[in-house]
Amino acid sequence: MSAKTRSMTKKKSGGWLESIKTVLYAGLIAIGIRTVAFEPFNIPSGSMIPTLLVGDYLFVSKYSYGYSRHSMPFSPNLFSGRIFGSLPERGDVAVFKLPRDNSTDYIKRIIGLPGDRVQVRGGILHLNGQPVRRESLGPFTVEDGGRMVATRFRELLPPQPGVEPHAHFILEMSDNQFFDNTTEFRVPAGHVFAMGDNRDNSLDSRDQNAVGFIPVENLVGRAEFIFFSVDGSASWWEVWAWPMAVRWSRLFSAVR
């Protein structure tokens, strides 16, 4: 083999090695950002309408509540508890791992903190024995596998020390649905209580067998903002219809 041929072979192998290194470094950086900073999620169901819609894509901040094993891909069992941990605020929209399997991602609104008493009576949320104020905003059309008309309310959670009262929107089909009258739940230490904003179409902490109280360790992060949203009207191959399928007004809107 000539010196020229050896030189070309060496350059080619060196080029492949550099490409592999670049891809590896990029992957490690992406995993690092996903673990300690932000992780993207998409909304597959209508349990958080009107706040979140099916087809919304959002970023969740991983640092908001500190870090647990669920902050990392595949939730490796490397340690227990949380590092730099802090409790959510009432009203936060949070992603968490479903307690019954510790792997399925759920997104709901945090309603109760450790020690809180939570109950729904006649469709009205009660916290620590007091009814939570809500204001009717009139009819709201829900398109979630069909078209239905619900009532939209503005709900105002009571303030916490040093935190402003949190206002958000909820939907009610009526005040006589399955979870509109519950027993009183006392949130145990190290846990939170979460509910969907689409109150009559949400599997959440009110169902103690399906979701129940959520260990603080299972919190993945707080929903921050929507970076993309599509209404599902265009298939992946209908390139010409993509612009009409994007919900442009929702892009880069904060999750509240």
Active site residues: 47, 108
Contacts of 215 (CB under 8 A, 6+ apart): 99, 190, 191
Note whether 111 and 157 are within 8 A (CB): yes
State the residue for tokens 């880069």: 252
Q: How far apart are CA 132 and CA 156, in angstroms?
A: 6
β-partners of residue 41 are 58
Contacts of 216 (CB under 8 A, 6+ apart): 65, 82, 85, 87, 114, 190, 191, 192
Q: What angle do CA 243, 249, 254 make, to 5 degrees?
A: 130
The letter for the amino acid at 139 is P
State the residue for tokens 């059309």: 141
State the residue for tokens 């479903």: 98
- Integer-rounded Cα radius of gyration of the chain: 23
Tokens for 114, please give them.
């450790």
